[in-house]
């Protein structure tokens, strides 16, 4: 079967110690809140890492890459070795002339998970205002109200998160952590993204022990050393000061007798 698939141009791989097929969301074509493409960027990344998928080049263990095209993370990127996450960096614009005609203002206000949206009167018309310090760029408001578009071609981009996993093997499941805060959308081949991911993959291959996942390797050597080896400059975006969800959802299925 593998030979027959290879003969008609379908690569087979992603099994055992290899890079798996990338799980991804819908992207620009199908999703109203996408900050990046899905199939295009996945194709570019997997073309670049093809030999690690098929097993032509060896890797220490399993490496799962996933992509979510916005902060809502439909692709479960929060628990992947390398996560490609599309990001918006500006709050939604508000079409005050149309908002009251197209949308129910109470629904718009309640759609915001951070209470960043408040009722307002603009030019004598009922509307809303947005506290940009509270906005998390999730597009929930745009989902219920087309008068609050979030997409911005000049400012949307991609961030890379690393170190997550679902497996309980050797260590409990882990959430991904931010590695690269921002890379530009540069279709059709996304050279900045593919280059940054190849750097992370080859760093892991060079330094990890056999069967060691990326997050396990980083925890063993420590994050300061990882930043030094990777050449990624530490910035304010890397400071993780929101601990509650990580603690409340950090659960293991290991049993103690």
Could you list the pLDDT tens digit for every one of the 257 residues in the chain? 988 998 998 889 998 899 999 989 889 988 888 999 999 999 999 999 999 999 899 999 999 999 999 888 876 688 899 999 999 999 999 999 999 999 999 999 999 999 999 999 999 999 999 999 999 898 899 999 999 999 998 999 999 999 999 888 888 888 899 999 999 999 999 999 999 999 999 999 999 999 999 999 999 999 999 999 999 999 998 887 666 555 555 555 554 44
Give the Cα separation of 60 and 207 in Å (integer).
9
Indicate the CATH number for domain 96-144: 3.30.70.20
According to CATH, where is 3.30.70.20 located in the chain?
A: 96-144
Number of neighbours of residue 127 by Cβ within 10 angstroms: 21
Q: Where are the alpha helices (DSSP H) in the chain?
A: 2-7, 39-48, 50-54, 96-102, 105-111, 140-144, 191-207, 214-221, 223-230, 244-248
According to CATH, where is 3.30.413.10 located in the chain?
A: 2-88+153-248
Q: Structure tokens of 167?
A: 């497996």
Indicate the CATH number for domain 2-88+153-248: 3.30.413.10
For residue 251, the model assigns a pLDDT of 54
DSSP state letter for 101: H
Give the Cα separation of 33 and 26 in Å (integer).
10
Helix 191-207 vs helix 223-230: crossing angle, to nearest 10: 120
């Amino acid at each position: 079967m593998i030979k027959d698939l290879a003969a008609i141009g379908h690569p087979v791989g992603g099994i055992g110690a290899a890079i798996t097929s990338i799980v991804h969301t819908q992207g620009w074509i199908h999703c109203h809140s996408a900050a990046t493409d899905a199939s295009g960027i996945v194709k570019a990344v997997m073309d670049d890492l093809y030999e690690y998928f098929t097993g032509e080049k060896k890797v220490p263990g399993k490496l799962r890459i996933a992509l979510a095209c916005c902060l809502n993370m439909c692709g479960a990127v929060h628990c992947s070795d390398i996560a490609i996450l599309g990001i918006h960096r500006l709050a939604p614009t508000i079409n005050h002339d149309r908002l009251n005609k197209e949308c129910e203002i109470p629904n718009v206000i309640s759609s915001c998970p951070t209470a960043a949206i408040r009722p307002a009167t603009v030019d004598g018309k009922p509307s809303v205002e947005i506290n940009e310090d509270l906005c998390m760029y999730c597009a929930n408001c745009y989902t219920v109200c087309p008068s609050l578009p979030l997409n911005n071609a000049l400012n949307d981009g991609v961030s890379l998160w690393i170190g997550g996993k679902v497996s309980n093997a050797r260590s409990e499941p882990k959430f991904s952590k931010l590695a690269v805060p921002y890379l530009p959308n540069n279709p059709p081949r996304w050279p900045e993204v593919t280059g940054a991911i190849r750097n992370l993959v080859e760093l892991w291959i060079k330094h990890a022990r056999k069967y060691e996942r990326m997050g396990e390797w980083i925890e063993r050597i420590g994050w300061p050393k990882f930043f030094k080896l990777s050449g990624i400059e530490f910035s304010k975006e890397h400071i993780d000061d929101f601990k509650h969800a990580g603690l409340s959802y950090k659960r293991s299925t290991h049993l103690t007798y």
